């Protein structure tokens, strides 16, 4: 019996072949999972691994019409890019703070320092030295 692919793309075929070879060569499921993590990350980092027509089918463009378009109670409207990030975090098994949080915190610290500098300069100009 041959494998059937819904996505008949070179990227997906190469990924599946790599996964099958890695599993066959691994001495345990844990070793296979450890060996496959970088390959999954590589696949998910490629924004084109899932062809656009499949992304469009899963996340059709929505036009907001006031008074007609329902608004989710949570206020969340997810698109394909956000779903890729969700899968990426799940593969890392970081469901709380992870590398994205660290980057956000670093960016926030840099922003706070910039604001502090601006406020310090403004206060010197407004109040004068001393």
What gap in Å lies between CA 51 and CA 80, rounded to an integer?
11
Range of the domain at 129: 96-130
Same domain, 8 and 71: yes
Same domain, 5 and 23: yes
Return all residues near 16 (Cβ < 8 A) that are at least 6 apart: 3, 5
Q: Is the pLDDT of residue 18 over 80?
A: yes
Same domain, 72 and 106: no
Number of domains, the chain: 2
What gap in Å lies between CA 53 and CA 7, rounded to an integer?
11
Average pLDDT for residues 5-13, to the nearest whole number? 77
Structure pTM? 0.44
Same domain, 61 and 109: no
Same domain, 108 and 79: no
> 7 with 50: CB under 8 angstroms?
yes
Average pLDDT, the chain: 77
Same domain, 2 and 47: yes
Q: How many CB atoms lie within 10 A of CB 43?
A: 19
pLDDT band at 1 (very low <50, low <70, confident <90, very high): very low
């Amino acid at each position: 019996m041959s494998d059937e692919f819904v996505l008949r793309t070179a990227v997906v075929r190469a990924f599946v072949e790599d996964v099958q070879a890695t599993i066959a060569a691994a001495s345990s499921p844990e070793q296979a999972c450890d060996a496959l993590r970088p390959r999954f990350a590589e696949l998910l980092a490629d924004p084109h691994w899932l062809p656009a027509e499949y992304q469009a089918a899963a996340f059709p463009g929505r036009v907001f019409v006031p008074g007609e378009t329902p608004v989710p109670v949570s206020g969340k409207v997810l698109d394909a890019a956000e779903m890729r990030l969700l899968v990426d975090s799940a593969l890392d098994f970081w469901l709380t703070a992870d590398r994205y949080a660290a980057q956000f915190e670093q960016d926030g610290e840099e922003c706070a320092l910039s604001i502090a500098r601006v406020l310090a300069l403004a206060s010197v100009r407004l109040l004068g030295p001393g």
